[in-house]
């Protein structure tokens, strides 16, 4: 043992590196890497022709479009309003702030199916909120609008929780300096504060977006799953294939989803690294 410690290896001051790394790798393998590898293995059972035929069939194509578009819109709305919510929770103090802060996490804790059923009832033409919109001829439940609302609901904590810590650490003296140098309030916000927050907003946006693409429980009740109106989401297509025990096609779609999510997270990481480099330099 001593011979190892006396070697030139960089000493790790924090104890138990070996065991913790071991646990980390074991957990990652058992929970993430091996299941992902099995998806790959399953989808490889299809011939490339079948694989592309599955992905290019009309319902699957539309489902990808619906999932990506609605998730994008939802993530965008979340990025805007999540920033405002985080701003309110960090910058101001008011009674009930703690409760409000806790409420943000509710979508994490609530079973998504419960959220989905509740939202579809609230926003249906006979529901509490849906009734009001119905008077103006706007249907929410069982349309793309309802679908997007469900995705906003499940995505909002990702954005708020990504921005809050950054905003807390953010030094107001930047803003003061901008003000001293003659920038107006709007200019300060857009050119100084928002720039500083941008990586955090992007992280939140990316997480909400990626989560939205894969969401099942909350959207399934409010989307109406109409093939005609293209309100079927991609996770619903996977469930359809599974119901026919068609593991090959189901995993083919899952693999495509996985690649999209991976590219998304990769893109966001690249933007963040660039941002960090620019700041460092």
Partner 1 sequence: MFQKKANHLRRGTALILTLSLMFSLSGCGQSSSQKNTGNQVTITNVSYDPTRELYQAYNEAFTSYYKEKTGTDVEVVMSHGGSGGQARSVVEGADADVVTLALAHDITLVENAGLIESGWIDEFDKASSPYTSTIVFLVRKGNPKNIRNWDDLIKDGMDIITPDPKSSGGACWNFLAAWYYADEKFGGDEKQMKDFVAKLYDNVSVMDSGARGATTTFVENGQGDVLLAWENEALQSVKEHPDEYEIISPSISILAQPSVAIVDQNAEKDQVADVAKDYLEYLYTEDAQKIIGEYGYRPSDENILNSFSDKFDLDMKLCSIDDFGGWDKAYDTFFNDGAIFDEIYNQ
Q: Which of 188, 218, 225, 251 binds partner 1 (CB under 8 A)?
A: 225
198 φ/ψ sector (left φ>0, alpha ψ -120 to 50, else beta): alpha
CB of 232 closer than 8 Å to CB of 66: yes
Stretch that binds partner 1, among 3-11, 102-110, 176-184, 253-261 (CB under 8 A): 3-11
List phi, psi (to 5°) of 110. Answer: -70, 135
3-state secondary structure of 237: helix
Residues 92 to 131 in contact with partner 1, rule: CB under 8 A: 117, 120-121, 124-127
By CB under 8 A, tell whether 29 contacts partner 1.
no
By CB under 8 A, tell whether 220 contacts partner 1.
yes
Q: Cβ of residue 240: shortest distance to partner 1, in angstroms?
A: 5
CB of 194 closer than 8 Å to CB of 129: no
Q: Which of 10, 58, 136, 186 binds partner 1 (CB under 8 A)?
A: 58
Distance CA 89, CA 93 (A): 7
CB atoms closer than 10 angstroms to residue 132: 11
By CB under 8 A, tell whether 48 contacts partner 1.
no
Tokens of residue 11, six digits: 């000493």
By CB under 8 A, tell whether 55 contacts partner 1.
no
Distance CA 271, CA 260 (A): 17
By CB under 8 A, tell whether 4 contacts partner 1.
yes
Shorter beta-carbon distance to partner 1: residue 37 or 103:
37
Residues 241 to 270 in contact with partner 1, rule: CB under 8 A: 242-245
Tokens of residue 97, six digits: 């702030």
Give how many residues touch partner 1 by CB under 8 A: 36
Site residues (CB under 8 A) for partner 1?
1, 4-5, 11-13, 15-19, 57-58, 117, 120-121, 124-127, 141-142, 220-221, 224-228, 236, 239-240, 242-245
């Amino acid at each position: 043992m001593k011979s190892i410690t006396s070697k030139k290896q960089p000493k790790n001051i924090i104890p138990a590196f070996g065991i913790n790394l071991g646990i980390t790798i074991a957990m990652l393998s058992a929970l993430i890497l091996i299941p992902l590898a099995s998806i790959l293995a399953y989808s490889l059972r299809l011939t490339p022709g079948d694989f592309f035929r599955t992905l290019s069939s009309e319902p699957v194509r539309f489902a990808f479009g619906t999932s990506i578009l609605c998730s994008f819109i939802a993530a965008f709305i979340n990025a805007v309003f999540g920033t405002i919510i985080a701003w309110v929770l960090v910058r101001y103090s008011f009674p009930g702030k703690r409760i409000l802060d806790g409420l943000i996490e509710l979508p994490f804790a609530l079973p998504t199916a419960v959220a989905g059923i509740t939202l579809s009832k609230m926003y249906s033409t006979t529901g509490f909120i849906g009734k009001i919109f119905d008077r103006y001829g706007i249907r929410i439940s069982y349309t793309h609008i309802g679908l997007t609302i469900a995705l906003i609901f499940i995505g909002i904590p990702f954005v708020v929780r990504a921005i809050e810590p950054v905003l807390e650490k953010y030094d107001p003296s930047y803003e003061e300096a901008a003000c001293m140098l003659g920038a107006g309030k709007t200019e300060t916000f857009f050119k100084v504060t928002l720039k500083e927050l941008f990586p955090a907003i992007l992280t939140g946006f990316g997480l909400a977006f990626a989560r939205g693409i894969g969401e099942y429980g909350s959207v399934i009740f409010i989307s109406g799953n109409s093939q005609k109106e293209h309100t079927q989401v991609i996770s619903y297509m996977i469930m359809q294939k599974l119901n026919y025990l068609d593991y090959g096609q189901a995993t083919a779609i899952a693999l495509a989803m996985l690649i999209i999510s991976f590219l998304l997270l990769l893109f966001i990481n690249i933007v963040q690294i660039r941002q960090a480099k620019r700041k460092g330099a």
